[in-house]
């Protein structure tokens, strides 16, 4: 088997269940680490990214609840960094334990990763990503005066702060990540889509935004010249006509075919569509690469049978 450089993008179900406690999340990550071991055992260079949506959402709630003049809430970019660090710490420890249990001599490292976005990205003109608590209209108006943030009504449940979700254009730390990979270190990076920053001269400035983790993983995969991008989600295969009597699971599919299915609105905006677009981005940017969308539980079958939705040019 040819040894590959593989970026694995973990979905939220690989980290968090209904229990948001630290112990519960660490337990889930121990189980996740076991699924990743066969990739490492096979000799592949593995780079892991992960989501942090629930974690950063919970942290924002905690920050807002404790906010005062003497103890001000941290800004969103800092909350992303904090949860990127905590989830990376848990996952790194889980991988270290799993590697030792399987008698594998491998080092692991977590890189707090800044992801550069374009300050002229159209997303800044139309913030859409809800974060933080639900507010009444009165509370919303008070917060709007205090913070100058944008709020939108959310499904009849109240008002929530919304922030932009710009596309990533570069991974600031990719040279360091590439060096770690070259030295056979299992690397965790670009967690939660990365810390969103814009470049102003020699300074990288954190901004109030959330980057989609799958687009960040695709950008990371391109930067480190990965052979494969594996996007893990809650289903073993991408499907068209999802949840309908004639649902069809996609096994092998080209980027052109996916574009046609996308034009027919087969993929939901809030769930599968970003994964499809990220996979297309990576494959089109890497003539010899391929992307796979499947579930964490299906990962062993991917290695032995090529199971999952495999996307090629």
Is 179's pLDDT higher than 70? yes
pLDDT of residue 311: 96
Report the distance separating Cα 16 and Cα 20, nearest Å: 7
Token digits for 64? 């807002």
Q: E-strand spans in the chain?
A: 5-10, 45-50, 108-110, 114-117, 129-135, 150-153, 159-163, 168-171, 186-188, 195-200, 203-206, 228-233, 239-240, 248-249, 252-254, 290-295, 309-312
Report the distance separating Cα 12 and Cα 4, nearest Å: 25
pLDDT of residue 222: 96
Q: Average pLDDT for residues 97-108, to the nearest whole number? A: 96
- What residue numbers bound the domain in which 124 lies? 5-311
What is the DSSP track for 159-171?
EEEEE--PPEEEE
Query: Beta strand pairing status for 290-295 and 114-117?
Result: unpaired
pLDDT of residue 134: 79
Token digits for 222? 């391109």
- Stated pTM of the model: 0.91
Is 264's pLDDT higher than 90? yes
Q: Average pLDDT for residues 91-115, to the nearest whole number? A: 97
Residues 43-71 have pLDDT tens digits of: 999 999 998 887 888 888 888 889 899 99
Residues 228-250 have pLDDT tens digits of: 999 999 899 999 998 889 999 99
The answer to whether 312 and 252 have CB atoms below 8 angstroms apart is yes
Is 217's pLDDT higher than 80? yes
pLDDT of residue 239: 93
Is 255's pLDDT higher than 90? yes
pLDDT of residue 43: 92
pLDDT of residue 1: 61
Choice between 142 and 147, residue whose per-residue pLDDT is larger: 142
Residues 69-80 have pLDDT tens digits of: 999 989 999 999
Question: What residues are annotated to the active site?
Answer: 12-13, 129, 213, 275
pLDDT of residue 268: 84
CATH number of domain containing 13: 3.40.1160.10
pLDDT of residue 95: 98
Token digits for 298? 């299906």
pLDDT of residue 108: 98
Residues 3-37 have pLDDT tens digits of: 899 999 998 767 877 788 999 999 999 999 999 99
What is the DSSP track for 288-305?
T-EEEEEESTTHHHHHHH
Total tally of structural domains belonging to the chain? 1
Token digits for 119? 């300050």
pLDDT of residue 153: 87
CA angle 16, 307, 214 (to 5 degrees): 45
CA angle 149, 151, 155 (to 5 degrees): 160
- Percent with pLDDT over 70 in the chain: 98
Average pLDDT, the chain: 92
pLDDT of residue 75: 92
């Amino acid at each position: 088997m040819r040894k590959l450089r593989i970026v694995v993008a973990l979905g939220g179900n690989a980290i968090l269940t209904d229990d948001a406690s630290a112990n519960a999340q660490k337990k889930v990550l121990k189980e996740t680490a076991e699924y990743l071991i066969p990739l490492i055992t096979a000799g592949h260079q593995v780079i892991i990214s992960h989501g942090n949506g629930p974690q950063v959402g919970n942290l924002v709630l905690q920050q807002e609840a404790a906010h005062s003049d003497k103890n001000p809430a941290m800004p969103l970019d800092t909350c992303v960094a904090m949860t990127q660090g905590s989830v990376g710490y848990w996952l790194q420890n889980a991988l270290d334990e799993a590697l030792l249990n399987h008698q594998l001599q491998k080092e692991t490292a977590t890189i707090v990763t800044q992801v550069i976005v374009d300050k002229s990205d159209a997303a800044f003109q139309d913030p859409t990503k809800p974060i933080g608590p639900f507010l009444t209209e009165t509370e919303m108006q008070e917060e709007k005066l205090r913070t100058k943030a944008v709020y939108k009504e959310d499904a009849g449940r109240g008002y929530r702060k919304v922030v932009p979700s710009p596309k990533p254009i570069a991974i600031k730390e990719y040279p360091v990540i590439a060096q770690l990979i070259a030295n056979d270190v299992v690397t965790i990076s670009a967690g939660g889509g990365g810390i969103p920053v814009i470049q102003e001269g020699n300074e990288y400035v954190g901004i109030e935004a959330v980057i989609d983790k799958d687009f960040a993983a695709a950008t990371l995969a391109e930067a480190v010249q990965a052979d494969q991008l594996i996007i893990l989600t809650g289903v073993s295969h991408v499907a068209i006509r999802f949840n309908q009597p004639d649902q069809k699971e996609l096994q092998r599919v080209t980027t052109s075919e996916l574009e046609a299915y996308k034009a027919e609105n087969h993929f939901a905006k809030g769930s599968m569509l970003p994964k499809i677009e990220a996979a297309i981005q990576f494959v089109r940017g890497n003539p010899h690469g391929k992307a796979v969308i499947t579930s964490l539980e299906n990962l062993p079958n991917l290695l032995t049978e090529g199971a999952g939705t495999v996307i090629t040019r």
